Each structure stands twice: as structure tokens, then as C-alpha cells.
Amino acid sequence: MEKGKEASKTVEEYIRRYPPEAQGKLTAIRAAIRAAAPAAQEKISYSMPAYMLNGPLVYFGAFKSHVGFYPTAEGIEAFKEELKEYKSSKGAVQFPLDRPLPLELVERIVKHRVGENLKK
């Protein structure tokens, strides 16, 4: 979040804060998450869009050169082979803004996370 700016209160407000090219990517990843988890509650948490269903499901955020996607450590581990071409850490993956988003993969990860959370 930029210095001196209030935190966004809604996902729409969050997306509007970014340049048009980033807005398109953020809108697309949001749509993929909502398609895969229509029952998830959408909110802002940790100053970024968050989705909850029986606990935290996934988060995403905009950065200068990438979209950060946070499907928890379990979500990264379950798809580590398919995510290996992207920079990632224990609970996050970076999708570069200059490449197409892997939306089908995002949907599969979200559906996997839904299944894991519903087991709780």
C-alpha cells in the first residue's frame, strides 16, 4: 500500500487504486477465485483481497511487477510442480504482470483449498 493512503475497504476499491493494466489482472484473478469458490466470503484482510470459507482460503495482492497469490503453504505444496516456473515461497507465488495469468491453475488451487477447508 502506498504511504499516506488509507487501506481499501472493499475489493473493488483495492483494484481501482492500480493502473489499468494491473486492474485487468486483478479483476481476472478475482473472477477466477470467485468462480472456484462462490460461497467464500470476500473481504480485505492484511490490506489485500481475502477469501474465507471455514477459515482463510486465499489472498491476492498487486505489486509493481507481479500479482501475489497466497493460497497458504498447503496450497503451494499441493501444486509445487505446476508452480515451479514462477517465483514462490512457502505460502505465496508471484505471477509477473508481463505474462498471462494461469487462471485455470488458480481455479484448481482454489478448489483444492476449498476441499481442504471443508474437511476441517
Q: Dump pLDDT digits (tens) for 17-51.
A: 999 989 999 999 999 999 999 999 999 999 999 99
CATH topology of domain 11-119: Aspartate Aminotransferase, domain 1 (3.90.1150)
pTM for the complete prediction? 0.92
The confidence score (pLDDT) of residue 25 equals 96
Per-residue confidence band for 4, with pLDDT thresholds at 50, 70 and 90 = very low
Q: Is the pLDDT of residue 83 over 80?
A: yes
Q: Contacts from 76-84 at CB under 8 Å and sequence distance 24+? A: 78/109, 78/112, 79/105, 79/108, 79/109, 79/112
Residue 1, pLDDT > 60, answer no
